[in-house]
Chains A and B, each alone.
Chain A
Amino acid sequence: MIGNFFDQFWSLTFGGLSLGFIYILIALGYTLVYGVLRMINFANSEIFMVGTFATVIVIRDLYKFTQSSEYATGFRLWLVLGTALIITMIISGLLSMVVELVAYRRLRRRNSGVLAPLISAIGVSMVLAESVRIMTDSRPVASPRAMEKSFIGKFFDADIRLDNTIIVIAALLLFFTLWNFINRTRLGKAIRAVSMNPSAAKLMGIDIDKIVSATFLIGGVMTGAAGFFYVLKYENTASSIGFELGIAAFTAAILGGIGNIKGAFFGGLALGLLETYASFFLGTQWKAVTVFIVLVMVLYTRPNGLFGESITQTRV
């Protein structure tokens, strides 16, 4: 098995990495909201699910691709992918803001702890998942192939595929845009201020409602982008996919250190690789168990996750 592992090492690594980048983007949705509100945004997984459907609709219904149609090439390919990504990000971002309004705002104003919003977010995710399930007649939905999954090169024995490459590069770009946004812009600074100390931020004249709304928007946009990449890579979706990927991404966020975007980045990558290696080595059925044990060990030795800041810094 060890020998085989090295034969397949680079294939597995590339597979794990591109999955990891999808996790990163969803994990950002969790981590941003957690940073600002100290709450698990349970509905984020369904925002991702709606995002995948938005992409499918753009590719299938707007551009009329079918399972047997020609692949797009050149400029048209970039046009299709670009519009699908942007529309998906907008839809998911707006939906995320609506979720905040419906599930969180009133409860936050009344200062009603962590659990009531958690349950109302669970309610919202049930509503989203069930509505889509009824609309799709409970069937999985495939996205027609808009882009040829061609090999663009080889790295040792592993094929490098175009779609995976696009995912990695685009996700990196998105991540660094977000990084700069959070660290350089006024709004980003305001978000950081609220996440460090909401009451002090309020005293400094920051409109908390606006910042929370903006955080959900950005989290939703990132999660939506994950939905787009997911469809690009796997070309199918269903009303029930949110839950599984949501839990995985949430685990990634915690593994890296929740509330901090660097943590989401390394947590996502670590989880993608860990899942893939563990599935190969120990059998796919023990994947979740391995992830769990590693998570407990990491949290036990580093109580704030791999990249979490110390408690004194993050806590008020």
Chain B
Amino acid sequence: MINIRDKGAQVWENSGRTGRVAIATLVIAVVASLPFMGGTILNTPIASYESVLVYPIAMFVLMAIGLNIVIGKSGLLDLGYVAFFAIGAYTMGLLGTKTGLNTWEILPIGIAMSMFAGLVLGVPALKLRGDYLAIITLGFGEIVRIVALNLGALGRSEGIIGIPTPPPVFGIEFSFDSHRIYYWTLLIMILLAIWMVRRLSARRAGRAWESIRQDEDVAELLGVPTFRYKIWAFVLGASVGGAAGVIYASKTLFIAPDNFTLQISILILACVVFGGMGNIWGVILGAVVLGYLPDRIRFLSEARLLVFGLVLVLMMNLRPDGLLPRKKREKAIKAKEAV
């Protein structure tokens, strides 16, 4: 089987500085021009292609990158990631309709809120055995939804209506139907998230996470403050989810508890695993495929989700490490030694 990831990594590593800039520019240009491909085979039936690009695709990519910090990098199984998305969205909804703050001012508040929630959940949850984290996070995701469903201030089941769109930036208007503008905004956020993750992975935090993922007990024995790094991974992951939530709310103008079900957590988790846990490019690919697929195969109508399930089973069996699996560090080291 051809290993696309290794091929890609090879090309990247063998290029000089100018080569790398050229590759990155080309890739970004191609991705940024996706909204113009509506007329091609990429088009989605019924659902609007451009809005599918924004939600779910770009939004899923952003969230998957965030969840990947938690699961892929440090090996913590989080089944309630939607909670942070919801907290970001509700912060936007509440502050956007009740105060004069605009989206860009709320964005840091939303991120801070979800990071705080990550901390509140993480401190007790991460002290527990790894296996239990799954159910605790799953429960937390549901709790956030249930609280939104039952608190009058959050609009209960009716949700929050009339959330404002972001104010113009450099003269670019954000109208609710200018999907492209939102898509490009998300693209910038995705690039920032990728940059952040890559920076961290190459440093102390990345090595600490890697050691936790491989064997927590050994890492602890070797003096890695595992608990602190786990909290860090959790809170950073939450921040990305919160940012996605803020943008989501100011795009859809209307949020309700129904938007934040457990299914979203599971889908994002599926994106991460399906694409290739731990490898950011794989995760992105996974999110693109799983976000896009259900709308592309709408012609199957009734059997759509059935086929989606089949794809999950088949793909996991054929490529258990995902479409673009993580680099096998050991292998890479051995190869270097051989040279």
Contact = CB atoms under 8 A, between A and B. Distances in A.
Interface stretch (A87-95, A168-176, A219-227, A299-307): A299-307
Nearest to A254: B135
Contacts, number: 111
Given A123-B313, A292-B143, A299-B136, A112 B320 contact: yes
Contacts of A76: none
Interface in B275-322: 277, 302-303, 305-306, 308-314, 316-317, 320-322
Contact of A304 (B71, B129, B147, B303): B129
Interface residues of B, number: 43
A119 B316 contact: yes
Interface stretch (B44-52, B191-199, B228-236, B266-274): B266-274
Contact of A127 (B140, B310, B321): B310
A185 B291 CA distance: 49
A37 B44 CA distance: 40
Contact of B320 (A107, A124, A311): A107
A299 B316 contact: no
A120 B314 CA distance: 8
A289 B306 contact: no
Contacts of B132: 254, 299, 303
Interface size class of A (residues with CB under 8 A): 35 or more
Contacts of B310: 123, 127
B2 to A, nearest CB: 19
A131 B309 CA distance: 10
A126 interface: yes
A125 B277 CA distance: 22
Contact of B312 (A119, A251, A304): A119
A55 B132 CA distance: 33
Contacts of A230: none
Contact of A116 (B128, B129, B316): B316
A303 B129 contact: yes
Nearest to A119: B273
Nearest to A291: B139
B303 A130 contact: yes
Nearest to B302: A134
A79 interface: no
Contacts of B146: 285-286, 288-289
B305 A110 contact: no
B316 A130 contact: no
B330 interface: no
Contact of A120 (B71, B135, B312): B312
A62 interface: no
Nearest to B313: A123
Contact of A296 (B136, B147, B277): B136
Interface in A117-163: 117-120, 122-127, 130-131, 134
A107 B317 contact: yes
A1 interface: no
Contact of A102 (B277, B311, B313): B313
B277 to A, nearest CB: 6
Contacts of B125: 296
B124 A292 contact: no
A123 B274 CA distance: 11
Contacts of B128: 299-300, 303
A113 B272 CA distance: 14
A251 B135 contact: yes
A123 B316 contact: yes
A26 B309 CA distance: 23
B77 interface: yes
Given A117-B316, A120-B312, A299-B132, A288 B273 contact: no
Contacts of A38: 131
Nearest to A113: B320
Nearest to A243: B262
Given A124-B313, A295-B135, A303-B129, 20 more contacts: A40-B134, A103-B316, A116-B321, A119-B316, A120-B312, A120-B313, A122-B270, A123-B310, A123-B313, A126-B309, A126-B312, A134-B303, A285-B146, A286-B150, A289-B146, A292-B139, A295-B136, A296-B125, A300-B124, A300-B128
Interface of A: 38, 40, 102-103, 106-107, 110, 112-120, 122-127, 130-131, 134, 247, 250-251, 254, 258, 285-286, 288-289, 291-292, 295-296, 299-300, 303-304, 311
Interface of B: 71, 77, 124-125, 127-129, 131-132, 134-136, 138-140, 142-143, 146-147, 149-150, 266, 269-270, 273-274, 277, 302-303, 305-306, 308-314, 316-317, 320-322
